[in-house]
Amino acid sequence: MYQYYIRMAELQKFRESFATKSKATQNVYNSTYKKLRDFLGDDIMNVSQKNIIKIIQENIDNLNSQQALLNVAHLVRKQNGAAINELEDVRIKNRTIINKKIYEANDNLINKLPSYDTLVNFVDGLLDNKKYVQYIINYLVLYYQVRNADLIFDFVTLKKDTKDDTKNYLWFSSTTKTVHYIRNVYKTAKRVGADDVVRGYGQKHIKITDPKFIDVMKILVKLQKTEEKPIVFIPNPKTVAYFVQMSTYEELGETMYFKIVVNKFRTDPNMLKQISYNRGTDIKTIYESYDIQSEDILKD
């Protein structure tokens, strides 16, 4: 019983370090911690760095999965003031290999992905064919570089219905003929660092005045009133990634759209700043992970 409380004390203390993160992120941390502890057969703090590394490498082949476990071990030991130098060395080595693989994968996409103009024509075609919901999804992914989960929003027509900061909104103001795309819940909205400092990009409020987009909003508002039921953009939030992928050009999905956009504007610093803001991702990460024409990041 005593050992049980010690174990729970370590886990509870670890949970406090990510208590302000999203529920999904908390679940990932919890499951990763439990997986690591099962491998170790003991609390993380009771196992040396050398043995943590050895056990992870013996049980897990995938480097990304190794990184997740190493990151948890790193966080727990750092939180408790223990040495982390050996874990840090392996994490850096793995990151170098992972980045190399990302570069190689992106390099292979150069001649395989469609052009940016192809996507623009596809989105315009959806409008011509009156596929309005699919048009909205593709429009936001292409022109505002959003992630799948960002597309889980309430479609509203009144400002008073946009006050819940645990939700995202697509609000059409008939008075100003403006669409307000409000994101409170997205991947980098709020993060708590190892130093317990809250960071992140906060609420993102984008105003859309594109006449074509506004016209679609008017059609959807009218349809919503006529049918007396809300317009559904994502039928099941749990399968949002699948639904978005099936809605995109040749089922490319939002990540490939993003790589195409980055490739299109890779030499335009002002556009890259806007893309960085839209996505909630720093420019360095965009270049390292999404620029399919980037030079090998391991070159001197």
Cβ atoms within 10 Å of 44's Cβ, excluding its own: 24
pTM of the entire predicted model: 0.67
Q: How confident is the model at residue 156 (pLDDT cuts 50, 70, 90)?
A: very high
| Least confident piece of the model among 126-135, 159-168, 198-207 | 198-207
SS3 195: coil
Residues 6+ apart with CB under 8 A from 119: 138, 142, 249, 257, 260
Q: How confident is the model at residue 4 (pLDDT cuts 50, 70, 90)?
A: very low
Cβ atoms within 10 Å of 72's Cβ, excluding its own: 23
254 burial (CB, 10 Å; 0-12 / 13-18 / 19+) is: buried
pLDDT in tens, 165-211: 899 999 999 999 999 999 998 888 865 444 555 556 778 999 999 99
Hunting for tokens 């504007």 — which residue is that? 265
Q: Which two tokens stand for residue 106?
A: 């992106």
Hunting for tokens 């040396």 — which residue is that? 48
pLDDT in tens, 209-218: 999 999 999 9
